[in-house]
Each structure stands twice: as structure tokens, then as C-alpha cells.
Amino acid sequence: MATDNERKRKRDAEYRSLRLIVRRLVDKAADGDLQAIKEVLDRIDGKTMAGPGDAEACPQQVTVRWKNAISSSSATSPVGDSSPSAGAASASSAS
């Protein structure tokens, strides 16, 4: 049966080995090794989340509508859209 001192020495040796591995990985990352950089950043910040599996298969359209709290007629476009780009377009065409 292993004594407390033997277990402690084994743990210390494993700890030193692990620190050596980490030091070498960080050194490679500092030297510009892209895979080492990725590994270090994955350990620091966590791995990036995968997107939805079907995102590549079917593109999606997103529509954004701006709601304007100002109800002046100059803030809306001729079609009643109060988006900033629509208001800018109508203002530039009027000059």
C-alpha cells in the first residue's frame, strides 16, 4: 500500500508534468502557432458555440422595422415608414 509521502511525490510529479505541458503550449502560441493559439484561447474563453445546424442549408431573411416615437410628418417617409434610412432618403430627394 502506498504511503502518504509516495502519493504526494506522485501528485507533485504529475503537477510538474502538467505545468511543463502548459508552458510549452503557451510558448508555441506566443511564437505564432495557430493551433496552439486556438487551444489556449479555448481554455481561457471557452469554445465558441456552434450555430444552428440548418443555417447553411436554408438562408433566412430578417426584416427590421424602426418605430419612431416622434409623430411629426417630417420624420416619416412618403409610404409611412419611419425608418431612419427612409427618412434620410426622402429628405435628400427633397433638396
The pLDDT averaged over each successive group of 10 residues in the chain (95 residues) is: 87 94 95 94 81 63 74 51 50 48
74 three-class SS: helix
Total domains in the chain come to 1
**54 within some domain:** no
**16 within some domain:** yes
86, 79 in Cβ contact below 8 A? yes
Question: What is the maximum span of the chain, computed from C-alpha positions, in angstroms?
Answer: 92
Q: What are phi and psi of 15, to 5 degrees?
A: -65, -45
**Domain with 40 in it:** 1-45
**89 within some domain:** no
